[in-house]
Chain A
Amino acid sequence: EAEVAQSPRYKITEKSQAVAFWCDPISGHATLYWYRQILGQGPELLVQFQDESVVDDSQLPKDRFSAERLKGVDSTLKIQPAELGDSAMYLCASRAPASGNTGELFFGEGSRLTVL
């Protein structure tokens, strides 16, 4: 069964350092999402891509976060510099191209970030 791949699964870093997360969506899924999930809360959308274009990054803290999907396939989410409040699970998800607004999201296993 096709899956959304994410790496690393776990990342511990010190504040002010740079950190990057990688996501490879299910093959053929043009829509890709990055969510942040703080412990004990629901996921919150950071950025949405349609192919290589950003559709929605209104909740992305652009002073320190950046995301790219240069070839419209895999994606990287970067944080620089990391702050203590960035400790969270970063989830990548993709959606099948023909499903539109009715389609469910397929999530990766997530990347858990701990900032010390």
Chain B
Amino acid sequence: AQSVAQPEDQVNVAEGNPLTVKCTYSVSGNPYLFWYVQYPNRGLQFLLKYITGDNLVKGSYGFEAEFNKSQTSFHLKKPSALVSDSALYFCAVRSNNAGNMLTFGGGTRLMVKP
């Protein structure tokens, strides 16, 4: 069975500082990895994905994520956080040989303080 772990319930960072939101995964086969963001009482918005190729993936709003196969990780990063980045972030994984099921992590709340 595939799974996603987001070990931090909340990440606090000061505006202008770099941020990292951690994600590790477990799948059989090759992973397809996704990050989504959710603002209060809203649906999830796609940020970026890793399918194959370059381990560093760039996405929306200045976010990027680094795929590390040996550590089975896909951490979300941003060089300079904004207060408006405060939201709930979800990592998700789908295996290339497990049909279309997308499994989400439990989410990490990012708080960016001025």
Give the nearest-CB partner of A56 in chain B. Answer: B101
Interface size on A, residues (CB 8 A): 25
Interface membership of chain B positions 24-59, coded 1 if the CB is closer than 8 angstroms to chain A and 0 otherwise: 000000001010100001111110010100000000
How many A-B Cβ pairs are below 8 Å?
59
Q: How far is the CB of B111 from chain A (nearest CB, A)?
A: 15
The 8 closest A-B pairs by CB, nearest first: A42-B104, A107-B43, A104-B46, A107-B44, A102-B51, A109-B43, A42-B106, A110-B43
A112 CA to B41 CA in the complex, in Å? 8
Give the nearest-CB partner of A112 in chain B. Answer: B41
Q: Say if the beta carbon of A4 comes within 8 Å of chain B.
A: yes
Q: Are B102 and A105 in contact (CB under 8 A)?
A: yes
Q: Are A45 and B102 in contact (CB under 8 A)?
A: yes
Given A101-B94, A107-B43, A108-B43, verify A45-B101 contact (CB < 8 Å): yes
Q: How far is the CB of B107 from chain A (nearest CB, A)?
A: 5
Give the nearest-CB partner of B51 in chain A. Answer: A102
Given A42-B90, A42-B105, verify A105-B46 contact (CB < 8 Å): yes
Q: Are B49 and A101 in contact (CB under 8 A)?
A: no
Q: How far is the CB of A29 from chain B (nearest CB, A)?
A: 13
Q: Are A48 and B104 in contact (CB under 8 A)?
A: no
Q: How far is the CB of B85 from chain A (nearest CB, A)?
A: 19
Given A102-B49, A104-B49, verify A56-B99 contact (CB < 8 Å): yes
Q: Are B104 and A91 in contact (CB under 8 A)?
A: no
Q: Are A101 and B90 in contact (CB under 8 A)?
A: no
In the complex, what residues of B have CB within 8 A of residue A102's CB?
32, 49, 51
Q: Say if the beta carbon of A31 comes within 8 Å of chain B.
A: yes
Q: Are B107 and A101 in contact (CB under 8 A)?
A: no
